[in-house]
Structure 1
Amino acid sequence: MIERLLPAEVSCAATRAESVPDGILFPEEEALIAQSVAKRRNDFTTARACARRAMAGLGLPPVAVLHGHRGRPLWPEGIVGSLTHCNGYRAAALARATDVLSLGIDAEPHAPLPVDLRELITLPAERERIGPPAPEGAGEIHWDRVLFSAKESVFKTWYPVTGRELDFLEADLTFDRASGPDRAGGVDGPQVRIPAEGGFTARLLLTDPALPTTLHGRWRVEDGIIATAASVRSGWRENGES
């Protein structure tokens, strides 16, 4: 699913399995989770198996994926990428830095956000645009959770380039209408059929000269999972992005 949301230059790999046959860790990776509970180990291991499949898609040999501040994956020189995992979905996306400056992916269960979290991560204008929470089981898109996931993707794109934290309230997101063969409305239209997908625009309220002030991405809802992705191409200045 994640591969639908990123440029062709990005190599993606994903699994819905809790564990995979090629989920073998390098010793230095094993050391990072030696004391972790089973779920953490499964998430960590399957995400790294996806990362090595994505490396192979770029013609790279498999290497250990360690992590830096706040768990940010550390990639080989000249490679940018992102990992995500939630119950029922793990994925990796990698690209050469000559093609993509930065990218971020996120996956979440397709369910409403807790009310207190909704208030913490959304701006008043965003709440007005996405409307009230959809009832669980009503067959409607949970836009608050899509918004949360999209912001996670934006933040994963932002941090590796700037080295600065970006708060949830420092990006103002707007969603496009659902597009493609699954189109049946959008964030402001009724009866959005699932699966559905579309685009989003993030206006950054905290800016940095290393990135444009507006980031773009895509979202998709399918089989109980929300996937989102954002990316910035290398040479964005020459392409007139802002």
Structure 2
Amino acid sequence: MTALMRRLLPDIAEVTEVRGELSAPPLFPEEEAVVARSVAERRREFATARRCARLSLAALGLTARPLLPGPRGEPLWPEGVVGALSHCAGYRVAAAARATDLSALGIDAETAGPLPDGVLEAVSLPAERAELARLRAAEPQVPWDRVLFSAKESVYKAWFPSARSMLGFDQARLSLTAAPDAGGTGVRGTFSARLLVPLPPAFADTVGGPVLEGAWLVDAGLVLTAIAAPVRRTAREPGNEPSPYASRPPAPA
């Protein structure tokens, strides 16, 4: 299939994405136990997502192993790896990188369409809704509410592995920008997310400050978002790695 999530992540991340399902070897027994009582559709998406993850891990030189969900459903990646999974109707994707290359990774995939009635108000701040209104007037073909929702999902996936705490939709202030998708189809852009909560020490030590930078794409009937946080350098090291996304002012608090 045409690479979609691949267009949003730096080359140091290994990305496996498919439309539909991959033929997959049997799940590990520990994984099989997770979905033993699940409906067929859930079993298929679980198996394909794990197959995608194993292909991404193999590209990093790692052998196949169970990829089990943690307490909040997050995939428990091997030590020294950051990664994320996502799936929506007919699309599955996994991305992984070495923790020496990226400090956090978050991805999300959604079908391209408006959110159900009432959902936007539940997942956004007043300032975000005002910004979406301005963006909608300039680019009415973009499902901006879905882009915002997806970006917040990516923020959470980048946040949780280090922070180990919940992050509400109202605890990150997002700002979006759009740009032509040079060299590709669809519409794409970047976003910044300012975290509105105190940063847990583990998050601050590994990921850094309160602003995460990401990118989004609307193409082929999908909304995709991604965050690839650079490795934070210590005070004794020369500087921080630049964000892989276009620089832009952080979202206002």
SS of the residue aligned with 1:177? strand
Q: Distance in 2 between matches of 1:152 and 1:23?
A: 29
**What's the counterpart of residue 225 of structure 2?**
228
SS of the residue aligned with 2:16? strand
Decide whether the 8 Å contact of 1:200 with 1:217 is kept in 2: yes
**What's the counterpart of residue 161 of structure 1?**
162
Distance 1:232 1:133, change over 3 A: closer
**What's the counterpart of residue 42 of structure 2?**
40
1:3 to 6, 9, 30: 6
**What's the offset of the Cα at 1:91?**
0.4
Q: Deviations over 1:115-147 (max 9, x none)?
A: 21110001001000111897xxx9711100000
2:191 to 197, 200, 204: 200
**What's the offset of the Cα at 1:24?**
2.9
Q: Distance in 2 between matches of 1:180 and 1:120?
A: 30
**What's the counterpart of residue 111 of structure 1?**
113
Q: Distance in 1 between matches of 2:90 and 2:140?
A: 19
Distance 1:222 1:44, change over 3 A: same
* Gap runs ≥5 in structure 2: 243-249
**What's the offset of the Cα at 1:56?**
1.4
Decide whether the 8 Å contact of 2:230 with 2:241 is kept in 1: no
Q: Distance in 1 between matches of 2:17 and 2:116?
A: 27
SS of the residue aligned with 2:72? helix
SS of the residue aligned with 2:79? coil
TM-score, with length taken from structure 1: 0.88
SS of the residue aligned with 1:76? coil
2:103 to 101, 104, 107: 101
**What's the offset of the Cα at 1:20?**
1.4
Q: Deviations over 1:2-52 (max 9, x none)?
A: 1111121110101111x2112531111011100000111111011011001
Decide whether the 8 Å contact of 2:232 with 2:241 is kept in 1: no
Distance 1:139 1:39, change over 3 A: farther
* Residue identity in the other structure for 1:143: W
* Residue identity in the other structure for 2:64: P
Q: Deviations over 1:60-113 (max 9, x none)?
A: 111110011210100111111000011021100001011111111000000100
2:179 counterpart of 1:178 = yes
227-236 or 36-45, larger mean C-alpha shift: 227-236
* Residue identity in the other structure for 1:206: V
Q: Distance in 2 between matches of 1:236 and 1:175?
A: 27
Q: Distance in 2 between matches of 1:55 and 1:157?
A: 18
SS of the residue aligned with 2:182? helix
Decide whether the 8 Å contact of 2:214 with 2:225 is kept in 1: yes
* Residue identity in the other structure for 2:11: A
Q: 1:72-87, aligned counterparts within 5 Å?
A: 72-87=74-89
1:63 to 62, 65, 78: 65
Q: Distance in 2 between matches of 1:14 and 1:118?
A: 28
1:92 to 91, 94, 98: 94
Spell out structure 1 runs of 4+ moving beyond 3 A. Answer: none
Decide whether the 8 Å contact of 2:231 with 2:240 is kept in 1: no
35-44 or 194-203, larger mean C-alpha shift: 194-203
SS of the residue aligned with 1:28? helix
Q: Distance in 2 between matches of 1:133 and 1:30?
A: 44
SS of the residue aligned with 1:232? strand
* Gap runs ≥5 in structure 1: 184-193
